[in-house]
Amino acid sequence: MSKLVTIYGGSGFVGRYIARRMAKEGWRVRVACRRPNEALFVRPYGTPGQVEPVFCNIRDDASVLAAMAGADAVVNCVGTFDRGGKNNFSAVHLDGAGRIARLAAAQGVAAMVHISSISADAKGASLYAQSKAEGEAAVLTAFPTAMILRPSVIFGNEDGFFNRFAAMSGMGPILPLIGGNAKFQPVYVDDVAQAVVKGIMGQATGTYELGGPEVETLRASIGKMLGVIRRRRLVINLPFVAGNVLANLLDFASFCTGGIFHNSILTRDQLASLRSDSIVKPGAKTLADLGIAATDYASVIPEYLWRYRPSGQYAAIKESAKNLKKA
């Protein structure tokens, strides 16, 4: 019988790419998520019955254990940007990650891969960065041979980075940025998935920082994105003082409405994160050490950002028509 991998958060942005690659490797894939009825799209990644979504709540030992039953390897790619509520930083990044590692070790699971963040830092300015570092420590304490991956901002068809700014560009002639001088090293989601496969297959272990070939400021990346979607916008880099006012107002609105208004625009913790660069540190092991060539984002984003162009899918036709000479 083929081997089995359980991917916690397997229906999410990164998890679905891991599931697809593991199915191609011939493994059975169990996609553990909170809403399996909304994750049926993963089934066609493999042959009938090869990829199956199952319910899991990573805050519960029994639920995590049930999803893990019989697994040869586990992957944790569950993450959150919520500092409050039941699924907060501590519950997800620390307790949830530690629970998966502890139970995997107890069940004799052969391999574990944990997806963290390049910003993970126990002394970081944001609670997000601190919780990610605490989660790594909890995983390695319970499962010392676990592979830890720390990606920079991840791009791909379903990303929340380029898609978000591209959508914002359609709202008016001005595109405001906060932390525009912060440096990023965007990494392709399928490159991250390839790195995970290396860990699952036992071909690599240790801690790796994953970044793409370009190190650019947020403002520079957004400038290239605007060129791809054929929009001319005045990009304004707002000071952190203005960002602090906005983040406080949005967080306060979320608090006053009891979470009915979910602040997915800018939180105080996200603002703190923007004060630091998200790039691979000198001396860190990278994609190159795994034999993976990092993908240039400029070669990928036109494949999915075309829908934000003024003419959408017809942009190329209209541009070509301009070159026709009148008969």
pLDDT digit string, tens, across residues 271-314: 999 999 999 999 999 999 999 999 999 999 999 999 999 988 88
Average of per-residue pLDDT across 201-210: 96
Q: Does 135 fall in a domain? A: yes
Q: Does 101 fall in a domain? A: yes
**Which of 92-96, 107-111, 261-265 shows the lowest per-residue confidence on average (mean pLDDT)?**
261-265
Which tens digits make up the pLDDT trace of 220-273?
Answer: 999 999 999 999 999 999 999 999 998 999 888 888 888 788 888 888 999 999
**Which of 77-81, 162-166, 203-207, 260-264 shows the lowest per-residue confidence on average (mean pLDDT)?**
260-264
Helix axes 97-106, 61-68, angle to 10 degrees: 50
pLDDT band (50, 70, 90) for residue 326: low
User: Quick one: what percent of the chain has pLDDT higher than 90?
Assistant: 84
CATH of the domain at 211: 3.40.50.720
The pLDDT value recorded for residue 52 is: 98
Q: Does 36 fall in a domain? A: yes
pLDDT band (50, 70, 90) for residue 327: very low
Model pTM? Answer: 0.93
The b/e string for 304-315 (b: 16+ C-beta within 10 A; e otherwise) is: bbbebbeeeeeb
What is the average pLDDT score of the chain? 94
Q: Does 281 fall in a domain? A: yes
Q: Does 172 fall in a domain? A: no
Closest CA to 300 of 194, 228, 230, 192: 228
CA distance 33 to 325: 56
pLDDT band (50, 70, 90) for residue 1: confident
CA distance 56 to 59: 9
Domain of 83, in residue numbers? 4-156+185-215+277-295
Q: Does 120 fall in a domain? A: yes
The pLDDT value recorded for residue 114 is: 98
Q: Does 45 fall in a domain? A: yes
Q: Does 12 fall in a domain? A: yes
pLDDT band (50, 70, 90) for residue 325: low
Cβ atoms of 98 and 137 within 8 Å: the answer is no
Domain count, the chain: 1
**pLDDT at residue 82 tops 90:** no
